[in-house]
Chain A
Amino acid sequence: QKEVEQDPGPLSVPEGAIVSLNCTYSNSAFQYFMWYRQYSRKGPELLMYTYSSGNKEDGRFTAQVDKSSKYISLFIRDSQPSDSATYLCAMSGVAGGTSYGKLTFGQGTILTVHP
């Protein structure tokens, strides 16, 4: 079983739709959760991050973490063509006890928002 599972898609939605992207994980030690966005021919860029369970909102983006279900989500409201990219979830355990904060990534979901 992979530590992090992410539906690779591809996901195609019309402009203005609400997009839901999800990851499940198996390692209960994960406490730090991130979403990266990767445009074609670019490296990933950090979009949002959350610690432990709960919601976090930033403009059109909302990140949710449900540690009891080991499930995280990223919602995009009023999606735009410029949101077309690959979205990667990433997570990490308790950084304080390790030599570095190792990130474990999902395989990414390819999203296309068409006008």
Chain B
Amino acid sequence: GIQVEQSPPDLILQEGANSTLRCNFSDSVNNLQWFHQNPWGQLINLFYIPSGTKQNGRLSATTVATERYSLLYISSSQTTDSGVYFCAVDTYNQGGKLIFGQGTELSVKP
């Protein structure tokens, strides 16, 4: 089946710093999503981004489907950005089943 790999596995930032998280996937996908899991375990969808670039405030994401990777950019990080960031893909004709990467654990220090 499709493999999803994220890097780095963990990241420590000082408040105000910028960061880039990467997601590689091994096959073509119907859709790619970025999630943030807060310290209480709630998964929140950040972006649906099968291709192209999207921006939402301090966050932006770019997916290059032909090269099978996606990047999540966090600018001017805040302590509330802490948590685990997951990349998840669903493939064609799989009814929406999500395959998750292992996540990047981000810790933003004040």
Report whether chain A binds chain B: no
A interface residues with partner B (beta carbon < 8 Å): none
B interface residues with partner A (beta carbon < 8 Å): none
